[in-house]
Chains A and B, each alone.
Chain A
Amino acid sequence: MLKRNIIFGLILMIPLLASPSARADDLAPVLQTGELVVGVKADYRPFGYRDMEGELAGFEVDVAKRVAQLLGVNLRLIAVTSSDRLQKLASGEIDVLIATLGDTIDRRRLVRMIEPGYYGGGASVLLEEASPIRSWDDLKGRELCAVQGALWNRLAATRLLAEIKAFGSVRDAELALRDKSCAGWLYDEAAIMHLLGRAEWSGFRMLPPQFVAPWAIAVANDGPLATFLDETVAMLLREGWLTQLEKTWNLPPSSYLEQAEQRWTQRDANGNWLCRQDENGKWPVECRDLDLIEAQDLRGIGTAFVMLRDQFGLDLTPFYDPFSRAGFLKALATTILLAVAAVLGSLLFGIVGGKMLQSEKRLIRSPAQMLATLFRMTPPLLQLYLVFFGIGGLLAAHGVTLNALWVAVLILSLYAGASNAIAISEASAAISIRAEDRARKVARLAYPTVMGSCINIVKATAMASAIAVGELLHASTAIIADYGNVAVMMNILLGCYVALVLAVVYAFGQVEKRLLAR
């Protein structure tokens, strides 16, 4: 009997062991080590940026300082970006995230959002003064530059039907807008408003804000730290400290802060705060922002995907969500296009270059030698940057814009083409001019090297993501920034590439069998 009870008791405990502790004590370790690690932005004036000494500073840094001071611990700041902030929080690299994170229903599924928000804002679009875009409705079908991980990207694509070109960093998006490779730059209202105050952006204007949401501090899980932060932000609103901070940083008065302060300073008949935590540490419903934006649409069979995620941590919801799925499939097609075009391009450059290297005329041979050396002895990533941002910038001043995809094809083709040219010229030098069936013999001799460099160029297509070509890596990191399902996406990505490389190896094997072998 006793034995049976013990077994029964153990069975009852299994779900407790299996489910991640929902209310793990995350405050104790912070107090114990005496250090709070906070992720803030480094590229978002005036909320989080590096000052002249290279130190992190800004509105959000001040909030982080105040929180650490209230806890009586030291503060360690870590710079995060829109695309890696949720992942750094989930991995435990940071305890608290204060990084211009808009509070949405989707994100509440990933992290514990602190209520109330400490600031609020929406999206805007930075445009050239002369741009024909006058309102949000004009964005339909237009190409907009954006930053990966920003909430607005999906909303603008699904609701306004704009074409989104998301870059990995604010700097790259800025450069791309200056190079006129998009009609406008979709980003946070607060950041754009700040940019417009600077001389270098004179001649630009912005659209009125849209999709306004509170900005919230976030922690990984519900727990004592979350409860403490809930209470702290409420206190900062009641003290008027946040509006004071807004003035310190010369921010225009935000309507969100004004309304929030009003709401949180209301008292009931007994003189107590109207908004106060109940015994479970929850705010009353009337104090909460519940009309949040829901960007994803998970219904019907989608609930099965949600179950898979919540029970087994296997988040395949992006493949249920039509927006993410279409994005991923399009990226797969782009990668294949890039790979095929780069292989063909590198063969073309290889054959032409090989002929030039064999030329008896120095005027033809020397430039070919120099170019082949230049392309083989410098990193292709740098070549991509140089052509897309450097030369692209010069051309933009003359009204010509470069297409990122074709820049990538050109650079990859030249990089592998240089190797191919040398292999082909060496092979052709080794075969007598008078040999029978000479072309086939040269091809057979150069074949192993050419195949090797073509396979490598297929692998290198992932590099095109650095100039925001929407290939597989780019699509995967964009999905990770939205969903935080790092392991799933990374394994799918690696699997796709391995399959692609195997396909190319197979194709080359067929070519060898049909054309080169006797």
Chain B
Amino acid sequence: MTNAEAAEMLFVWTPFLAQGFAWNIVISLAAMAIGTPIGIFLAQLRLSGSRAASWLTAMARLPPTFVLLFYFAYLLPGEFAFGNLKVEVPAWLKASLALSVAVVGFVSDNAQPCIRHLRRGERLEALYFIPAWTTYFLIIVMASSTASVIGVPELVNRANTVIAAAGEHAATLWVYSYAMLWFLGFCLPLSWLMNWLRVGLAAQGNNVDPSGANVKVAVRADGRADQ
């Protein structure tokens, strides 16, 4: 396969792969939408001294997302019936649920200082939660690629389809590298933006509060990849 042939193949399949990446975003947003409110709720309970909430947060931090993905895929029924109402649980939603467990743990830990600042009326410091949350969202976007193993037609799953369709071994390296570019292209600018925001917030903090006491807020911007 020459470079020109490879470029043509990638061009032809781009719309198909782009749809797959849209699935990654949908799965990740759903995971954040499920996990964030529960995490904030737990954080509030913990601030009022609830031990159950601390325990639940610890539980949310423990299981590997990749194992939970299989756990939900195998054990959750594909359909729930409430009387006459039937609710379907498609594979992508199972993936979102698996990812949302890690989100609960992250938000519960990081919303705590944020809520504390808000209660003290320190709006600016509370804003640190936004870049931390967004950085974690990026980690979830990357982790959403694991949904491919339970058959969700997201980017990595579709990359495998393209490789099978190309039927040529040389296509493998090209297609996977191209899929990586999609993730890089989405995550890198957002990550720069969040860094810029963080620096901006710190600078503002310095202006407002010359003592600089609260500049290093306990935001764990390092909410590292949880797979």
Contact = CB atoms under 8 A, between A and B. Distances in A.
Partners in one complex: yes
Interface of A: 87, 91, 93, 168, 171, 175, 178, 200, 373-374, 376-383, 385-386, 389-391, 393-394, 415-416, 419, 423, 448-449, 452-453, 456, 459-463, 466, 473, 477, 480, 486-487, 490, 493-494, 497-498, 501-502
A486 B75 contact: yes
A178 B149 CA distance: 21
B52 interface: no
A389 B176 contact: yes
Contact of A462 (B62, B64, B225): B64
Nearest to A498: B62
Nearest to A477: B70
Given A477-B70, A480-B74, A486-B74, 18 more contacts: A91-B77, A93-B78, A374-B184, A377-B188, A378-B183, A379-B183, A381-B148, A386-B180, A390-B176, A393-B170, A423-B222, A459-B63, A460-B225, A463-B66, A486-B75, A487-B75, A497-B62, A497-B63
B183 A490 contact: no
Interface stretch (B39-47, B139-147, B202-210): B139-147
Contacts of B100: none
Contacts of B160: 171, 385
Contact of A460 (B63, B66, B187, B222): B66
A453 B63 contact: no
18 contacts: A91-B77, A200-B167, A377-B138, A379-B142, A379-B156, A381-B145, A381-B156, A382-B156, A385-B176, A390-B172, A394-B173, A415-B225, A449-B222, A460-B225, A462-B64, A462-B67, A463-B146, A498-B62
B54 interface: no
A200 B71 CA distance: 38
Given A373-B188, A385-B156, A486-B74, A380 B67 contact: no
Contact of B70 (A175, A456, A490): A490
A393 B169 contact: yes
B120 interface: no
B225 A376 contact: yes
A377 B177 contact: no
A378 B184 contact: yes
Given A480-B74, A486-B74, A460 B176 contact: no
B224 interface: yes
A379 B145 contact: yes
B156 A386 contact: no
Contact of A490 (B71, B77, B167, B169): B71
Contact of B176 (A386, A463, A486): A386
Contacts of A459: 63-67, 226-227
A490 B138 CA distance: 28
By size class, the interface of chain B is 35 or more
B191 interface: yes
A382 B176 contact: yes
A234 B146 CA distance: 44
Contacts of B191: 377
Interface string B15-46: 00000000000000000000000000000000
Nearest to A169: B160
A386 B64 contact: no
A393 B180 contact: no
A415 B225 CA distance: 9
Contact of B224 (A178, A449, A486, A490): A449
A496 B120 CA distance: 43
Contacts of A493: 67, 70-71
Contacts of B169: 175, 178, 393
A487 B183 CA distance: 34
Given A382-B176, A460-B64, A419 B224 contact: yes
A8 to B, nearest CB: 35
